[in-house]
Amino acid sequence: MTIIGIDLGTTNSVLSIYEGGKPVVIANAEGSRVTPSVVAYTDDGTLVGDLARRQCLVNPLGTIYSIKRFMGKRYDEIPEVERKSVPYETCDQLNGDLGVRINGKIYSPSEISAQILSKFKTCAEQFLGKPVTEAVITVPAYFNDAQRRATQVAGEIAGLKVRRIINEPTAAALAYGVDQDKEEKVAIYDFGGGTFDISILELGGGVIEVLATNGDAHLGGDDIDQAIADWLFDRFKAENNMDIRGDAMISQRIREAAEKAKMELSSMVTTEIYLPFLTADASGPKHLRANLSRAQLEAMMQPLVQHSLDCCKRAFEDAGLKPSDVAEVLLVGGSTRIPLVQAEVEKYFGRKPNHSLNPDEVVAIGAAIQGGVLSGEVNDIVLLDVTPLTLGVKANGGLMVPLIDRNTTIPVKKTKLFSTTVDNQESVTIDVYQGERQFAEENRFLGQFELSDIEKAPRAVPQIEVAFDIDANGVLRVSATNKKTNKHESLVLMGAGGLTDDEIRSAIADAEAARDADEKRKNLQVARNKAESLNLSNARMLREQSALADENLIKKTKDLLERADMTLNKDDASLEEFEALSSDLSACSCEWHELVYAKEKEERERAEAEQKAQQQAQQPQDPSANAESN
């Protein structure tokens, strides 16, 4: 049984498996080890990864990126200004949660993420040559219950049973600690495209224990890109007295230019941003040209980096440690390549951070190792993770009563006794919240259920035991029991990213149907690619080796090339047409290669004969033979 490991990232995602005693990163169908977390809905179907990213300029309203930031989020949790800033057609409500409207249909973040996971499922099956049904998926350490559940749902829609959800910094620690024999404390500084996490872990004796974690699920490289984009928008407006923020295609061009400038300034001190023909008015076309220095970028970034260090401070306070207590600081996430981030981390921790791990792949590698643990291939590692946020219930007066504090090692089960607040109260309502605020309403509401048929008694007499049970995935189950009657009620918190059970089942069915259609599209494209390759090969032979061939082969090849051009230029060419064309092209190619091989053999035999004659001429004659002849 193979359990694949998936780093479902905000900007990029990576697939890995544990095979042959080590983790292996699997390249996607395009040959890249890193897949952009981009999904595009087009008239011809759904595109994922590099293919989706390439067409985003011509389809900005149907191309979705950074959807991970909205996983498990309610519509009213997203500020209106942020809902308006996304490049999609519009944000909308889906059963109270946030959804994305594309071409008149509302998609949940789970459905969109499932497209990426489905692509990885196919890649893994092609790599292994067998079906893949189980996965370990990573999430930011600061993902709440609803966000984790939404990630699980994405896996289910993609046809994957999610065996474990683990925190990204914890996965990085697995990748780092799997070959480490020493006992030490390490800090994982994970600054990715959309989220930031800091985790403090203790490694030793094959046990990886998370001591504390903190972070912000809405802090990452996307915010740096947006800061540069805002600067470019303001500059263009100042120079041309035109506000171009509302144009989706222009916004996409500026966002791509901002991301490129950010990456260039990691190795350069200044870069030029030039976007010709952005728009036009009565006076003619308008271009955008600007020089951005590393110093300017660092000024934009400084508040973001400082926010990450504030999260680090809180994590150390929770762990009861100081930055000097950790032996290593591991950098994870693409944004840690930025010089300012590295410098500020080194300054805060008082030591150079560890660059030995590939920040793009390390999380997926850790997920694959966890998959190896679950499948029994890895036996000497124990992972002890923590819950990132406090979990509790709403009490009288609206107070939040914690049952499980943040940074508690999971899996865990905690209970607490409650009672009634008025005389003869016959039922109690259990409201479950997650967060660090003192009043329940200021935290994230997770769910509600009712325990009824309580015996009539004065207030505070009945005993109601509330239990919180968090599994290894960090998913919460809540129950309440009347201690006198043993009547029991429970709540399985859905947090399914805006989808009901029926909608989840429907989405799974749609995904299955789409997989069949995608397989047909893939087979058609593979057949087309094969025909194109053989066509080019025959054209090269005709061009370079025509002197070797007779008139029949030359005419046959020209006719085939003409037929190939007609077939390859047809929009509705069938799989059978491509296969028949490839068969004929392949046979023709064999004839050419036989001629070339015969010529090479003849030249090789001639060269060997000449070399042998030269060697015989250079050999000294036998003196005795000369004497006899005399």
Q: How far apart are CA 334 and CA 313, in angstroms?
A: 22
Residue-wise over 170-200: b if at least 16 C-beta within 10 A, else e?
A: bbbbbbbbbeeeeeebbbbbbbbbbbbbbbb
Cis peptide before 411 (omega within 30 of 0): yes
DSSP state of 72: T
Q: How far apart are CA 403 and CA 388, in angstroms?
A: 14
Tokens 């005693």 correspond to: 21
Residue 307, Ramachandran bin (φ over 0: left; ψ between -120 and 50: alpha; else beta): alpha
Query: Which residues form the catalytic set?
Result: 7, 68, 168, 190
For residue 630, the tally of other CB atoms under 10 A from its CB is 5
Cα separations (Å) of 474 from 148, 220, 406, 478? 7, 23, 12, 13
Residue-wise over 587-596: b if at least 16 C-beta within 10 A, else e?
A: ebbebbeebe
Polymer length of the chain? 630
Coil, strand or helix: which one is 366? Answer: helix
Q: How far apart are CA 203 and CA 206, in angstroms?
A: 7
Q: How far apart are CA 195 and CA 218, in angstroms?
A: 5
Cα separations (Å) of 575 from 514, 529, 531, 563, 579? 18, 11, 11, 15, 6
For 126, what's the count of Cα atoms within 13 Å in the CB-facing half-sphere? 16
Tokens 């002890």 correspond to: 384
Are 307 and 198 spatial neighbours (Cβ–Cβ below 8 Å)? no
Tokens 């915010």 correspond to: 223
394 phi and psi angles, rounded to 5 deg: -85, 125
Element (H, E) at 401: strand 400-404
Contacts of 143 (CB under 8 A, 6+ apart): 71, 72, 151, 167, 217, 388, 474
573 phi and psi angles, rounded to 5 deg: -60, 140
Neighbour order of strands in the sheet with 408-410: 328-332, 184-191, 196-204, 207-216, 382-387, 408-410
Residue-wise over 92-105: b if at least 16 C-beta within 10 A, else e?
A: bebeebbbbbbeee
